[in-house]
Chain A
């Protein structure tokens, strides 16, 4: 696959001169995420290909348009995984989009967030300059951590050209057990277990059943199953895929879908509607018609924040930021994109 850095850089330089706003995208599988913007499309899909993969070094470097599926297959062939287990939300998902959205999957609790596995990036800023930050080694403290700043920035600070990602060995074995339990007990149990070294790599509570994925050696899993109890489930791979890709029945809803991030031990939120829980209780999904003020207030009370993930009519997708933080956001936007042409408004109206 070709290296289109020069072409993309020229497009951005051109847009910078003409003050032409751009909508940077690739596989378009996560277009629903963030605010709608009206701008000229700049697709990174063709800028694809794995640049470097050395299993013994535990990293992979690929261009932003590389399909996530291709990368996951490549590392799976060497018994490795992307630690953050990112959702694809469609066949065409790319590595660049994954980093720009910064959404982690079920393994978040044991293996970290998307930014935690980013080692380095090459970006093109809003003036068309190619910049490289970080590297491909895990320990690297030279300069400010700009590569991680790109995670979750929704392309508003630069077009991501390539990324180096840290990998982990695939667990020797994984099994999932289901326990019938009420919500409060589920929250208690999850937080108790998290205080033990048990190898819990994912959790999901659907309102009546708590699903726990254990990832370790066969013998360690056996020991943990005994202390947790519950029943083994079949086809657990497809179960977790359903949670990650939101094809699980809960997510098939016409109501607005809220993503609420709270401290894991937070009690049941006072929001009407259906809900499920991931990440040992630290991630709550609500399918609800409640107004955004109610949802956001509940999230704040719990010490968290709420994102209108899908659906709804509000223009405010992400939790509003305090002024001191938002002022810094605007200044950083200026640093990377002085003409305000890269995905302007995708995250917040003024960004």
Chain B
């Protein structure tokens, strides 16, 4: 280990490689970085750095490697799992200044961009050529592509168009040793191990993204948005399965429960039927004639499942109105409560009704309201726990309730996080989902890339010690939690 370096000395080192005003040292400069969108966790970094070139990043990483200083890279700070929470002994590396779109290759249908480019900005730049970047996390107006890579972000259209993973062609990664690792290309595969897949969703723990090449898609020929209301949430869940088992893959298929419907009606008045127990919003896209057939088929299925109302948006304005409530769900719920806590488990769709009922029971048990708004098509739930952080102990109850919801997702064969990442938030639930040998493998992969644990340390993978303390794992006999469940 090198001699510890004082923070002022460290700042001086960085000032030699980046302009002085790109080295933030004072508390009031560091405050904006003390948390990401998961505000329950806060920590000031030692310093924050704002490099504006790859050369500057390389120089910063070299210094960090020399003095063994932890690095937390950050894009727009929209992570919902604390992925960009600073490390108390480390620096915060803000990549927002690297926001250049380097190339739109219209012939090969790719865009090459710097990590600080906003998700939506890619689609905006590709728009003149009739192309777009498909993954659309709800924060797409603000979130950066670098952050999307770290979290393997999803969005409302990933049922049909895939996650970040399915839409990235190439990455340029800076290793902690300061070497540039080029993965993938504009072609469709690469020799060797699929390090590109390994890097995506690795929560900034294996390398720092310097450059990203994404796949661009042509806009669908046309799209139709429909709404269906149900007086029973089970029927809504069955209708979702009905649509998919009939061979239809909607571009988006979202469900809102009663509490969310009422909240959005109060907030932005999208005209949802307020008497409904649940509504589905279904977006279909395709070629003219194909689309008409699908709309008719989906209507039929919805009616078969006793929808109390089915609406097809007549034009773009009506379609936008139907989406408006869904997209405003979180701020709308925010109006009902001083604080809320958004969960992110995924389950096999057939368990939808059972899981929603169990969530409702957990909500009663803990005395906190839970609203449900989620990507029904791919079984990705976003239960939203409403609480008041000013009431002593309520945050802890919300976290406990959230933890129990995630464990329920694992029990029915799902996962603790569909698209938000583990971050600092779901470390305990990782112990439930994975065995000791599996978690050890994750640590060994981390060590293969970053032996001294300098890149976003402490995130995503719990220590075995933590799991043992939680008692969630029966490490003595090597038995897994829930040994009766097949887990694949």
Measured CB to CB, the residues of A under 8 A from B are 51-52, 54-58, 61, 79, 102, 108-109, 112-113, 115-116, 119-122, 125, 129-146, 148-149, 151-153, 157, 162-164, 168-170, 172, 191, 194-199, 216-217, 219-220, 222-224, 261-265, 279, 282-283, 303-305, 307, 318-319, 321-322, 324-326, 328-329, 331-332, 334-336, 347-348
List chain B residues, Cβ under 8 A from A139.
154, 158, 163, 346, 375, 378-380, 415, 418-419
A105 vs B218: C-alpha distance when bound (angstroms):
22
A136 vs B346: C-alpha distance when bound (angstroms):
10
Q: Are A151 and B187 neighbours in the complex by a CB distance under 8 Å?
A: no
Q: Say whether B37 faces chain A, with CB atoms less than 8 Å apart.
A: no
B143 to chain A, nearest CB (A): 15
Q: Are B289 and A223 neighbours in the complex by a CB distance under 8 Å?
A: yes
Chain B 392-421 near chain A by CB (<8 Å), digits 1 or 0: 000000000000000000000111111111
Of B186, B287, B438, B488, the contact of A199 (CB 8 Å cutoff) = B287
Which stretch of B3-11, B106-114, B261-269, B307-315 is in the interface? B106-114
Q: Are A319 and B421 neighbours in the complex by a CB distance under 8 Å?
A: no
A197 vs B289: C-alpha distance when bound (angstroms):
13
A-B pairs with the 8 shortest C-beta distances?
A219-B289, A169-B247, A139-B418, A220-B287, A331-B448, A263-B186, A217-B290, A148-B197
Interface positions, chain B 151-210, Cβ under 8 Å from A, are 151-152, 154, 158-159, 162-163, 165-166, 175, 179-183, 185-195, 197-198, 200-202, 206
Q: Are A325 and B195 neighbours in the complex by a CB distance under 8 Å?
A: yes
A219 touching B290 in the complex, CB below 8 Å, given contacts A122-B488, A132-B488, A307-B191: yes
A116 touching B162 in the complex, CB below 8 Å, given contacts A220-B288, A261-B189: yes
Q: Are B193 and A153 neighbours in the complex by a CB distance under 8 Å?
A: yes
Of B166, B185, B244, B293, the contact of A303 (CB 8 Å cutoff) = B185
List chain B residues, Cβ under 8 A from A169.
247-249
Q: Say whether B434 faces chain A, with CB atoms less than 8 Å apart.
A: yes
Q: Say whether B460 faces chain A, with CB atoms less than 8 Å apart.
A: yes
B302 to chain A, nearest CB (A): 16
| Extra pairs beyond A141-B201, A195-B129, A303-B186 (14, CB < 8 Å) | A61-B486, A112-B166, A113-B189, A115-B197, A139-B154, A142-B422, A143-B433, A152-B189, A169-B248, A191-B108, A195-B131, A197-B219, A305-B190, A326-B192
Q: Are B415 and A108 neighbours in the complex by a CB distance under 8 Å?
A: no
Q: How many pairs, one residue from A and one from B, have CB atoms within 8 Å of each other in the complex?
A: 272
List chain B residues, Cβ under 8 A from A305.
185, 187, 190-191
Most chain A beta-carbon neighbours within 10 Å: one of B162, B248, B348: B348
A348 vs B158: C-alpha distance when bound (angstroms):
35
Q: Are B220 and A197 neighbours in the complex by a CB distance under 8 Å?
A: yes
Name the residue on B nearest A133 (C-beta): B438
Q: Are A136 and B348 neighbours in the complex by a CB distance under 8 Å?
A: yes
List chain B residues, Cβ under 8 A from A195.
106, 109, 129-131, 218
Q: Provide the main secondary structure of the chain B interface.
A: loop
Name the residue on A nearest B219 (C-beta): A197
Q: Are A55 and B106 neighbours in the complex by a CB distance under 8 Å?
A: no
Q: Say whether B445 faces chain A, with CB atoms less than 8 Å apart.
A: yes
Q: Say whether B476 faces chain A, with CB atoms less than 8 Å apart.
A: no
Q: Say whether B71 faces chain A, with CB atoms less than 8 Å apart.
A: no
List chain A residues, Cβ under 8 A from B288.
219-220, 223
List chain B residues, Cβ under 8 A from A217.
286-287, 289-290, 293-294
A173 to chain B, nearest CB (A): 10
List chain B residues, Cβ under 8 A from A219.
287-290, 292-293
List chain B residues, Cβ under 8 A from A57.
348-350
Chain B 110-151 near chain A by CB (<8 Å), digits 1 or 0: 100000000000000000011100000000000000000001
List chain A residues, Cβ under 8 A from B434.
132, 142-143
A226 vs B249: C-alpha distance when bound (angstroms):
26
Of A109, A148, A191, the contact of B198 (CB 8 Å cutoff) = A148
Name the residue on B nearest A164 (C-beta): B488
Q: Are B191 and A141 neighbours in the complex by a CB distance under 8 Å?
A: no
A149 touching B193 in the complex, CB below 8 Å, given contacts A137-B414, A195-B131, A332-B445: yes
Most chain B beta-carbon neighbours within 10 Å: one of A220, A305, A336: A220
Of B186, B292, B415, the contact of A140 (CB 8 Å cutoff) = B415
List chain A residues, Cβ under 8 A from B488.
51, 61, 119-122, 132, 134-136, 162-164
Q: Are A328 and B187 neighbours in the complex by a CB distance under 8 Å?
A: no
B484 to chain A, nearest CB (A): 15
Q: Are A335 and B448 neighbours in the complex by a CB distance under 8 Å?
A: yes
A201 to chain B, nearest CB (A): 13
Name the residue on A nearest B243 (C-beta): A56
A108 vs B419: C-alpha distance when bound (angstroms):
25
A267 to chain B, nearest CB (A): 11
Q: Say whether B441 faces chain A, with CB atoms less than 8 Å apart.
A: yes
Q: Are B430 and A152 neighbours in the complex by a CB distance under 8 Å?
A: no
A262 vs B188: C-alpha distance when bound (angstroms):
7
Q: Are B438 and A143 neighbours in the complex by a CB distance under 8 Å?
A: yes
Q: Say whether B449 faces chain A, with CB atoms less than 8 Å apart.
A: yes
Q: Are A137 and B293 neighbours in the complex by a CB distance under 8 Å?
A: no
Q: List 21 A-B contacts (CB under 8 A).
A: A136-B348, A137-B347, A137-B414, A137-B415, A139-B163, A139-B346, A139-B418, A142-B434, A143-B442, A143-B460, A152-B194, A163-B488, A196-B218, A223-B287, A261-B187, A261-B188, A264-B109, A265-B108, A305-B191, A335-B447, A336-B441
